[in-house]
Structure 1
Amino acid sequence: MRLNQFVCRTIAELDAQLIECRACPRLVEWREQVAHDKRAAFRDENYWGRPVPGLGPDDARLLLVGLAPAAHGGNRTGRMFTGDRSGDVLFAAMHAVGLSNQATSVAQGDGLRLIGTRVTAPVHCAPPDNKPTPTERDTCRGWLEKELGLLAPTVRAIVVLGAWGWQALLPALAESGWAIPKPKPRFGHGAHILLAPAGSDRAPLHLFGSYHVSQQNTFTGRLTPAMLESVLSDAATAAGLHPRR
Structure 2
Amino acid sequence: MTAPPAVDPSHDCVLCPRLSGHIAAWRTKEPDWHNGPVPTWLPPQGENAVRLLIVGLAPGARGANRTGRPFTGDASGEALFAGLDRHGLARGHRPGSAGEGVDLIGTAITNAVRCVPPENRPVAAEINACRAYLEPTLARFAKLQAVLTLGKIAHDACIRALGGRVSAHPFGHGAQTALNGLTIVSSYHCSRYNMNTGRLTEAMFDAVIADVAGMVQGR
Taking structure 2 as the reference length, the TM-score comes to 0.88
Question: In structure 2, what is the equivalent of residue 37 of structure 1?
Answer: 29
2:215 matched to 1:225? Answer: no
**Which consecutive unaligned segments of at least 5 residues does structure 2 have?**
none
Q: CA deviation at 1:6?
A: 5.8
Q: 1:76 to 1:107 in 2, by over 3 A?
A: farther
SS for the counterpart of 1:189 is: coil
User: Following superposition, which runs of at least 4 residues in structure 1 exceed 6 angstroms of deviation?
Assistant: none
Q: CA deviation at 1:138?
A: 1.0
RMSD between aligned residues: 2.2
Residue type matched to 1:69 in 2? P
Q: CA contact under 8 A between 1:96 and 1:103: conserved in structure 2?
A: no
Give 1:146's match in structure 2, choosing from 132, 136, 158. 136
SS for the counterpart of 2:91 is: coil
Question: In structure 2, what is the equivalent of residue 100 of structure 1?
Answer: 90
Residues in 2 aligned to 1:144 and 1:155: alpha-carbon distance in whole angstroms? 14
Question: In structure 2, what is the equivalent of residue 193 of structure 1?
Answer: 177
Residues in 2 aligned to 1:66 and 1:107: alpha-carbon distance in whole angstroms? 15
Residue type matched to 1:143 in 2? Y
Q: CA contact under 8 A between 2:78 and 2:98: conserved in structure 1?
A: no
2:24 matched to 1:24? Answer: no
Q: 1:68 to 1:210 in 2, by over 3 A?
A: same
Question: In structure 1, what is the equivalent of residue 211 of structure 2?
Answer: 234
Question: In structure 2, what is the equivalent of residue 156 of structure 1?
Answer: 145
SS for the counterpart of 1:14 is: coil
Q: CA contact under 8 A between 2:76 and 2:192: conserved in structure 1?
A: yes
Residue type matched to 1:218 in 2? M
TM-superposition CA deviations, 1:195-215 (whole Å, max 9, x none): 2x3xxxxxx211111010111
**Which consecutive unaligned segments of at least 5 residues does structure 1 have?**
39-44, 175-179, 198-203
Q: CA deviation at 1:240?
A: 3.0
Q: CA contact under 8 A between 2:81 and 2:98: conserved in structure 1?
A: no
2:73 matched to 1:87? Answer: no
Question: In structure 2, what is the equivalent of residue 201 of structure 1?
Answer: none
- Number of matched pairs: 213
Q: CA contact under 8 A between 1:137 and 1:168: conserved in structure 2?
A: yes
Q: CA deviation at 1:18?
A: 3.7
Q: CA deviation at 1:22?
A: 2.0
TM-superposition CA deviations, 1:121-165 (whole Å, max 9, x none): 1100000011111111111111111111111x2110011000111
2:4 matched to 1:7? Answer: yes
Q: CA contact under 8 A between 2:75 and 2:98: conserved in structure 1?
A: no
2:196 matched to 1:206? Answer: no
Q: CA contact under 8 A between 2:77 and 2:98: conserved in structure 1?
A: no
Q: CA contact under 8 A between 1:35 and 1:76: conserved in structure 2?
A: no
TM-superposition CA deviations, 1:90-126 (whole Å, max 9, x none): 1111111111012249599x53210001111110000
Q: CA contact under 8 A between 1:52 and 1:74: conserved in structure 2?
A: yes
Which of 164-173 and 120-129 deviates more? 164-173
Residue type matched to 2:27 in 1? A
